[in-house]
Amino acid sequence: MLDLHRLRLLREVHVRGTIHAAAGALGYTPSAVSQQLAVLEREAGARLLERVGRNVRLTEAGHVLVGHADTLLEGAEAAAAEVAAVAAGRLEGTVRVSAFQSAFLRVVAPTIRDLADEHPGIRVEATELEVEQAVPALRLHQLDVLVGDEYEEQPRALHPELRRETVLREPINVVLPADHPRAADTHVSLADLADLPWAACQPGTGHHAMHLRACRQVGGFEPDVRHTSDDFLILLELVRTTGAGALLPELVLGLGAPGVVVRPLEAPVGREVFLLTRRSRTPTVEAVTHALLAAGRAAIS
């Protein structure tokens, strides 16, 4: 009989690439992980790992076993959740959610509030993570629901083993300080802002790439990105206090933006907020995803 805990260790080594990385992620020592994997090899009756220099990689048998690990682990997770629900007479269990900042504030936080009344037996644990960090955690059952974003013409990697649903679609707006010479205009062309200093997210992020693309394609100029932060609220404050401009999603501006003016882009650029889960959802995860989708609709209504 294969031990599910050891299967999880094998899958972690496969995803992380080394025993040391897997051990660090799980809070074990490398020797403890190695010992458990040796036991798993005896249980499986086959060699599962082979050394390549200082690292290890899965053998053919190891790949076969990892291929079945997700199904086995998800089945055990679903069974435990359903048993707990039957025993309690209501939905119970912990659902771990990750989101980026603006979705955390406008979608996840209201969901936690509403679920406390509707399903008091569900414990939601929320953390702020970007998609790149969260996808591996979702695959490894360290997260249950991921809320991410994707800008138009900048598609993220596809994950056919995960289930994706749209939470909301929103426009990107030009945000200017209230005392800007064009602040009184009902329509502002991005091309008219070529001399403006800009505030944007850090290079390498989807927002930074969107900002460059919009200024180049729509405005016809290379933006002077003078300030950078991955915190949208900091970008909003930079607009308010430094005279910079920014391109910000509707979801951020819904939090309130005193001291600035907001104008739509003449050639619309949009962003999709989506959620990812494993394809097999427990009843508690299903309840949380439904609540997130409802909160997303409410956020832009």
Residue with tokens 């950078």: 228
Alpha-carbon gap, residue 16 to 142, rounded angstroms:
13
pLDDT of residue 69: 73
User: Could you state, in order of their start, the residue ranges of all structural domains in the chain?
Assistant: 4-77, 91-167+272-299, 169-270
In sequence order, which ranges of 104-164 are alpha helices (DSSP H)? 109-118, 131-139
Domain 91-167+272-299 falls in which CATH fold? Answer: D-Maltodextrin-Binding Protein; domain 2 (3.40.190)
How far apart (Å, rounded) are the C-alpha atoms in residues 296 and 285? 16
Tokens of 26: 């799980």
- pLDDT tens-place values along the chain, 301 residues long: 677 778 787 887 787 778 887 777 767 788 888 888 888 888 888 888 887 776 777 788 878 787 777 777 766 666 666 665 555 567 889 999 999 999 999 999 999 999 999 999 999 999 999 898 899 889 888 899 999 999 999 999 998 889 999 999 999 999 999 999 888 888 788 999 999 999 999 999 999 999 999 999 999 999 999 999 999 999 999 999 999 999 999 999 987 788 899 998 887 889 999 999 998 889 999 999 999 999 999 998 7
How many whole angstroms separate alpha carbon 135 and alpha carbon 140?
9
Q: Which amino acid is at 258?
A: P
Residue 196: partners with Cβ closer than 8 Å, 6 or more residues away: 176, 224, 244, 245
Q: Among the residues of 145-231, which ranges form H helices? A: 206-214
**Fold equal for 91-167+272-299 and 169-270:** yes
Token reading at 12: 């972690």
* The architecture CATH gives domain 4-77: Orthogonal Bundle (1.10)
Tokens of 130: 């970007």
Largest CA distance in the chain: 75
CATH number of this structure's domain 169-270 = 3.40.190.290
Neighbours of 269 (CB within 10 A): 21
